[in-house]
Chain A
Amino acid sequence: MRKILSNSLFIILFIILVYGIFQMPTGANINAPAYNDIVNHYLNSGVSETNASNIIAAILADYRGFDTLGETIVLFTSVVAVGSVLRSTKYDKEVRDHE
Chain B
Amino acid sequence: MNDIIIKNITRIIIPFAQAYGIFIIINGHISPGGGFAGGAIVGTSLILYTLVFGREKGKKKFSHKTSEIAESGGIMWFVTVGLIGLFIAGRFLTNLDAGFPEGVIGDILSGGMIPLLMIGIGIKVASTMISLFNLIIDEGI
Contacts and interface: CB of A to CB of B under 8 A. Distances in A.
B135 A82 contact: yes
Interface stretch (A1-9, A28-36, A73-81): A73-81
B129 to A, nearest CB: 9
Interface residues of A, number: 28
B72 to A, nearest CB: 8
B34 A60 contact: yes
A55 to B, nearest CB: 10
Given A52-B114, A54-B30, A57-B28, A75 B139 contact: no
Contacts of A66: 92-93
Interface of B: 28-32, 34, 71-72, 74-75, 78-79, 82, 92-93, 95-96, 102-103, 105-106, 110-114, 117-118, 120-121, 124-125, 128, 131-132, 135-136, 138-140
| List of 6 A-B pairs having minimum Cβ-Cβ separation, nearest first | A52-B111, A52-B29, A86-B139, A65-B93, A57-B29, A61-B114
A54 B78 contact: no
Contact of B28 (A50, A54, A69): A54
Given A62-B113, A76-B71, 7 more contacts: A49-B96, A52-B30, A65-B117, A72-B78, A76-B74, A79-B135, A82-B136
Given A69-B78, A69-B82, A50 B112 contact: yes
A20 interface: no
Contacts of A76: 71-72, 74-75, 124, 128
Contact of B132 (A53, A54, A68, A79): A79
B106 A53 contact: yes
A23 interface: no
A61 B34 CA distance: 10
